[in-house]
Amino acid sequence: MDLVIARPEGLYCPPGDFYIDPWRPVARSVITHAHGDHARTGNQHYLAAAPGEGILRSRLGSDINLQTLAYGERLKHQGVTLSFHPAGHVLGSAQVRLEYQGEVWVASGDYKVEPDGTCAPFEPVRCHTFITESTFGLPIYRWQPQAEIFAEINQWWRGNIEVGKASVLFCYSFGKAQRILHGIDPSLGPILVHGAVEPLNRVYRKAGIALPPTLYAGDFNKNDPLLRQALILAPPSAGGSTWMRRFGDYSDAFASGWMRLRGTRRRRGVDRGFVLSDHADWPGLLWAIEQTGAERVMVTHGSVAVLVRHLREQGLDAQGFSTEYGDDEEESPMPEVTA
């Protein structure tokens, strides 16, 4: 029996009568993580992993009807045993394990296999059927160890300080920004953040994640000499806006897995592209799938056709699942071009 099927409202578990990350309002939702394309408003009941509570409430409203489970804690609902396991994607992100009459399915949501210190590291879960994402599902996507990327960012920042330029680093406000704060060398200079980033920093700090002190960029005037030493983290949407004027002569950069390709890097039009992603790269996807021991793999959002064909060549029973995930700005290389 299929424990998860695709329905117009989202991925649905028939025996348990609930949805995983539904894109339309439903009665019962199970949420893998708090990014906008996975956690949406309007559901009557939410179930999520406990470390994600702060973020979910800050994004969806403090009054949502939310129940949480610690990682590994089991909940039995209409004969389906449900538990959350770390996905290593962002704070509170989880894979959902479902067990019913001896059959085990795991829905991964989004995941990353390299531990980064800002959330519980990815943990492979044995199952019969694995539902995987495929955002970076092509062999051209292979990440360098993040320590090398942070060293590159530090070097760029240091270089800018030497020539008296502000360093504006565009990155997504939830997850990527905190990971960068956690990984860079805060002794180089002051760190400023955009108004979209700071509330998430607060939640991370409250969850016990070590982040260096940050200042609110809006508090500074255009000619403040401190800006020329500063690293500024801002969401991509701030680029080209009047908000940027206060930094005067600055160098800009973008941190994303898509920066792996020259074409996307050049279309972004920033000085530097740092290849830093919160998703698994190609070897990461294949490793994670192998670790689950699953014989059947359902592939969602990303390079669905490619990953399905490749897994079939490896002798697995693979098929694509059509979903509405991946339209968050985080997961699309250049929405206005490839839409």
Partner 1 sequence: MKAFARLYSELDATTSSNAKLAAMQAYFAEAAPQDAAWAVYFLSGGRPRQLVPVRVLRDMAVKISGLSEWLFEESYQAVGDLAETISLILPESPHSSDDGLALWLEEKLLPLRGETPEVLGERLPALWAQLDRASLMLCIKLITGSFRVGVSKLLVTRALAAMAGLDSKRVAQRLVGYTDLSHRPTAERYLQLIAPESSDEHAQRGGQPYPFFLAHALSAPVEQFETLLGPVSDWQVEWKWDGIRAQVVKREGRLWVWSRGEELVTERFPELQALLHSLPDGTVIDGEIVVWKDPSAITEDAFDAQQPAPPSVQPFALLQQRIGRKTLGKKILEDVPVVVLGYDLLEWQGEDWRSRPQAERRARLEQLISDCRSPVLLPSPVLEGQDWVDLARQREASRSLGVEGMMLKARDSLYGVGRTKDMGVWWKWKVEPFSVDAVLIYAQRGHGRRASLYSDYTFAVWDGPPDSSERNLVPFAKAYSGLTDEEMRKVDSIVRKTTVEKFGPVSSVKPTLVFELGFEGIALSKRHKSGIAVRFPRMLRWRQDKPVDEADSLATLQDLLG
Q: Which is nearer to partner 1, 78 or 155 (CB)?
A: 155
> Is 138 a residue that touches partner 1 (CB under 8 A)?
yes
Query: How far, in whole angstroms, is CA 267 from its chain's centroid?
Result: 22
Q: How many CB atoms lie within 10 A of CB 65?
A: 10
- Residue of 1, 140, 147, 163 interacting with partner 1 (CB under 8 A): 140
Question: Among 5, 75, 210, 337, which residue interacts with partner 1 (rule: CB under 8 A)?
Answer: 337
- Beta carbon of residue 193, minimum distance to partner 1 (angstroms, whole number): 25
Decide: 295 and 316 in contact? Cβ < 8 Å.
yes
Give the chain's length: 339
Interaction of residue 268 with partner 1, rule CB under 8 A: no
Q: Of the two residues 56 and 253, which places its CB atom closer to partner 1 in the complex?
A: 253
- Which residues sit opposite 309 in a β-bridge? none
Taking alpha carbons only, the member of 226, 227, 272 closest to residue 247 is 227
Q: Which is nearer to partner 1, 1 or 147 (CB)?
A: 147
Residue 263 has phi, psi (to 5 degrees) of -60, -50
Q: Single out the residue of 263, 233, 262, 228 nearest to residue 248, CA to CA.
A: 228
The helix or strand, by DSSP H or E, that contains position 233, with its residue range, turns out to be: strand 231-234
Q: Please list every residue from 235 through 264 that binds partner 1, using CB under 8 A.
A: 260-263
Nearer to partner 1 among residue 283 and residue 293 (C-beta): 283
How far apart CA 22 and CA 8 sit, in angstroms, is 9
* 309 touches partner 1 (CB under 8 A): yes
Q: Assess contact for 34 and 90: CB atoms under 8 A.
A: yes
Question: Nearest distance from residue 252's CB to partner 1, in Å?
Answer: 12
Is 338 near partner 1 (CB under 8 A)?
Answer: yes
> How many residues sit in the footprint of partner 1 (CB under 8 A)?
23
By the 8 A CB rule, do 256 and 169 touch?
no
The interface region with partner 1, picked from 96-104, 138-146, 187-195, 200-208 by CB under 8 A, is: 138-146
Contact footprint for partner 1 (CB under 8 A): 138-140, 142, 260-263, 265-267, 269, 271-272, 303, 306, 309-310, 313, 336-339
